Structure 1
Amino acid sequence: MENKNLEQLTVGGGCFWCTEAVFDQIKGVEMVVSGYSGGTVPGIPTYREVCSGLTGHAEVIQVSFDPSVVSFEDLLIIFMTSHDPTTLNRQGADQGTQYRSVIFYHDEKQKQIAESVIKEMAPYYENAIVTEISPLEKFHPAEGSHQDYYANNSSQGYCTAVINPKLARLREMHADKLKSA
């Protein structure tokens, strides 16, 4: 088996079911784990606690990717075009700080790239980008029922109404970055 030097991207753009489904489609992405980051309470948060909005955590995904196939910058561009980075603490009907747009950087290089991508993308949006850029302190994987949610529940109402349109947009905007069927 080939030894790959994988890097990680940790982002939140609303419900992690949506962002996980998007990033599972990208060439060079080896694994996507839904979870929680950015909170202020001790211990390991649960979905119910995070959904209360009281823990300070955001629903995020942690993406393990091969930078020789897809760059951190390209992944951030996909991220910025797969959700609305101009709405504060809201994505569609999902509202609260747990649904904020956020990039948790792993090192200074990632921070600089994130700042550059946001600056580059700003002219394409009518409203100001409100995506938070913060250092990753801890990542807590979500419960098993939230992993691979779209793959396991693609016919559910939420998936057909919310995730399918995001995947259609992904295919339209980033076809060259998708894994082959």
Structure 2
Amino acid sequence: MALILFNKPFQVMCQFSPHPTRKTLADFLDIPNIYPAGRLDADSEGLLLLTDEGHLQHEISHPSHKQPKTYIAQVEGKPSAALLRKLQAPLDLGDFVTQPCQATEIQAPDWLWSRNPPIRYRLDKPTSWLAITLLEGKNRQVRRMTAAVGLPTLRLVRIAIGNISLTTHPLWPGEWREISTAEL
């Protein structure tokens, strides 16, 4: 049974089939019969787990198993205590209400790689970094949550799934490594 950690670069599609304009997982991983356990949209970067075992894929990605997923988000604006409380509480996004989550302001991570292309900078708009841990993961959820409280996401990096973290398993964008399933 294979469990692969992959640091998905910005603008890479979470699929192995060809894409007309973007790179896909096949451009980085040549391992037969592995599939992503969860997804990251093209605009998001960071930790992606892949496996060749269907049961493990379900255990990692299905919300009923409550694998916490931690993201760091560079947002436009400065979060107040009230905005952080809004992010942490159930938040109505129109088509669903989020589960409570952890959300804190953090210092800009000094270990984080540069993004290519870099995010847009505006002299009149300060940016901040947030660490957000969810027990669910709906389509573009973090981006929608931060926008809903007035802090649009400029950069989003998933840094951890359960016990697996890019801080304990450092990988540059596009790099991968196999680990033991016991580490989950």
TM-score normalised according to structure 1 size: 0.30
Larger C-alpha radius of gyration, 1 or 2?
2
Higher helix share: 1
Higher strand share: 2
